[in-house]
Structure 1
Amino acid sequence: MSSIEIVSGPWGTASMPAEAQRTRALAAWDAFRELAGRVDPDAPSRLPGWDGRAVITHLASWPDAPLLARLLAEASGRRAPDAAPMHQDDVNARLVLAHRDADREELLAALDDGRARLVAAFDATTRDPSLALARTGSQVGPVPLLTQFGAIAYELAVHALDLAPCGAGEPPPELLDAGVLALADITGALAARHGVRARTGLAVPGGGWGFAAPGAAGTGWEVFPLPPGRPNLPAVEARAAALLLDASAGRRPVPALLARRDLKPHNLAGLLSLAPLLDHVPGLPGGPALRLTAAALGGVGRMTALLPTLTRTRP
């Protein structure tokens, strides 16, 4: 399947009211910052070989990793997007090594700097609305600048869960919800980019989020909230939002989650329409989980909707 250049919206969360996008993104950042303040930086996280310091370091803002500056430069046309996705594991490893001696105060200051830069980036889109939907490079292809801002919440939510063994405590529901929304949004973007017709939900207690891509050349995608209860569309239902995020990021084995019915696919035939997307995102977080799920479901359906996202999250 060839990639399709998307020329008309809607653009998922990027088409939502600007103030709602800003409020959700900053609330997710603030929630992670509060959790990080309780972390023992030297305690091991649930990521093998990474302590709390390493997890926080690669999410914070440092002069040697100006992510938001790069995205704004691309949106304004001052920098061309990279021809190929960066090898994020290598980037993360270099960043963690460079700041391996950072103390708690330095880590929290770097998170505060990241928030200030995110505020400045949103302010830039307010001053120049053309930046909001300008294409920027991501690991799943060109997406609007505001899509990138929203996707940060996915990484914050997954890594907040990673920090639990370091004393962070449970992430608040609003952070997990923002992470699920980001997962639905970028999956919708990916479906639209490759001309896949899909209407799929990520259901969690209390609701969740869905996305719809019409499958027509050059059109965008929608995201929408799901009502509480059994989803009435092709969906993956999780017993908890944390389980859905963990499965999508490869933190928990999907076959075991399916066997315990912590994850329940609904309408497998509908979910199967998303299968071709795996061919376009090799090596991204979530891909291994999808392939394991496909094997677990065998000839019945072979697919769930836990798709990889644009994220810098360590596999």
Structure 2
Amino acid sequence: MESAHGLAGGGRASVEPRVLAAWDAFLHCADAADLNCDSGAPGQRAHDLCVQLGLWTEHRAVHDLVTSARGGARGTPPDVHLVRDAVVATHRNASRAEVLSALRRRRDAVSIYFKNFDEALDLAPAVSAFGRIPLLSVLVGEAYLLAVTALDLVPCGSPPPPEPLQQAGLAALCEVLGALAVDAGLTGSAAFRTPSGGWGFAASEDGWTVRDLGSQLPGGTVIEGDEADLLGLAAGRLDGPRLLRSRRIRAQQLTGLLRFAPLADLPWTPGATLLRLP
């Protein structure tokens, strides 16, 4: 599957099932986790990670994105770390039931967007934790956060996230990187290939495309490995040079990532550690 302006450009009909399925898979992982346990994210409990993804009175997620898109995406992207720390501090003593309920509210808010909001908003830029990119690209991109967080919950008793969730995470990473590249005036392509397929993106002056690799081995810049290793590397949980030396990940024309080097310096770019591999 390929779309002319990323997954978002393919229309909500092509992304809604994947986004909601990613949320459902993540909720299953969160339900099984001991929220008081130290997670795979350094210095954070499972409770902290789930609080960040929840919908709270002062952290309204989808509503705030819609407001930004309708208002012309004014302002600068938030400091992700400051927002995270503030939400975690506010809800440090929230019960397990409250945290899981906040996660379900966030999932429901995404579903409500797809059902009740006009598609004209989908490609409108919104200021988000991923920078200033189309609103639908943000909603797609959140599957990356869900996949990474699900992996971080494994040390807390959660089952490994299912392959569709991890694949959705890689697709989401491609969507956001493509959108950010176009916004920054950068061109080039890269792909993340896994044993079961993987995803790639290409940015040009006309927009960006995202495609499901299927069984194909694309040309150009390709990073290949298991989904968990690629996502762990993208999130900074794993050491890239060590993975390359051990051949747990393999690279083809790695220097092609240098085209996207400016994105690695932006605090809101997901997968910055991947972009720094060269």
TM-score by length of 2: 0.92
8 Å contact from structure 1 (residues 253, 289) kept in 2: no
More deviation in 146-155 or 14-23? 14-23
- Partner residue of 1:48 out of 42, 47, 50: 42
The aligned amino acid for 2:116 is A
- Partner residue of 2:100 out of 96, 108, 129: 108
Matched ranges for 1:12-161 at <5 A: 12-77=6-71, 80-125=72-117, 128-139=118-129, 141-161=131-151
Deviations 1:230-288 (A, max 9, x none): 433321112x1111111111111111111111221112354433334435x25745435
Q: SS in structure 1 opposite 2:43? A: coil
For 2:212, the equivalent position in structure 1 comes to 225
Seq. identity, %: 37
CA 1:210–1:99 in structure 2 vs 1: closer, same or farther (change >3 Å)? same
Displacement of 1:20 after TM fit?
A: 2.6
8 Å contact from structure 1 (residues 21, 150) kept in 2: yes
Q: Distance in 1 between matches of 2:255 and 2:154?
A: 36
The aligned amino acid for 2:159 is G
How large is the Cα RMSD of the aligned pairs? 2.0
Q: SS in structure 2 opposite 1:101? A: coil
8 Å contact from structure 1 (residues 157, 171) kept in 2: yes
Deviations 1:34-67 (A, max 9, x none): 1111111111112233212111111111111012
Aligned residues: 276
8 Å contact from structure 2 (residues 143, 168) kept in 1: yes
Displacement of 1:166 after TM fit?
A: 0.8
CA 1:54–1:131 in structure 2 vs 1: closer, same or farther (change >3 Å)? same
Q: Which runs of 4+ in 1 moved over 6 A?
A: none
- Partner residue of 1:274 out of 252, 255, 260: 260
Q: Distance in 1 between matches of 2:108 and 2:267?
A: 33
Matched ranges for 1:160-179 at <5 A: 160-179=150-169
Q: SS in structure 1 opposite 2:55? A: coil
Displacement of 1:68 after TM fit?
A: 0.9
Query: Whose Rg is larger?
Result: 1
- Partner residue of 2:196 out of 206, 216, 225: 206
Q: Distance in 2 between matches of 1:144 and 1:177?
A: 21
Residue segments in structure 2 that go unaligned for 5+ positions in a row:
none
Q: SS in structure 2 opposite 1:221? A: strand
Q: Distance in 2 between matches of 1:82 and 1:225?
A: 33
Q: Distance in 1 between matches of 2:124 and 2:17?
A: 21
Q: SS in structure 2 opposite 1:247? A: helix
For 1:191, the equivalent position in structure 2 comes to 181
Q: Distance in 2 between matches of 1:25 and 1:205?
A: 22
8 Å contact from structure 1 (residues 22, 122) kept in 2: yes
The aligned amino acid for 2:9 is S
8 Å contact from structure 1 (residues 250, 285) kept in 2: no
Q: Distance in 1 between matches of 2:165 and 2:195?
A: 15
Deviations 1:207-239 (A, max 9, x none): 11111122x2xx21111111326433321112x
Q: Distance in 1 between matches of 2:82 and 2:131?
A: 20
Q: Distance in 2 between matches of 1:102 and 1:69?
A: 22
CA 1:32–1:141 in structure 2 vs 1: closer, same or farther (change >3 Å)? closer
CA 1:37–1:282 in structure 2 vs 1: closer, same or farther (change >3 Å)? closer
**Mapped pair 1:258 → 2:248:** no
CA 1:160–1:204 in structure 2 vs 1: closer, same or farther (change >3 Å)? same
Q: Distance in 2 between matches of 1:265 and 1:257?
A: 10
More deviation in 253-262 or 17-26? 17-26
The aligned amino acid for 2:246 is R
Residue segments in structure 1 that go unaligned for 5+ positions in a row:
1-8, 294-302, 304-315
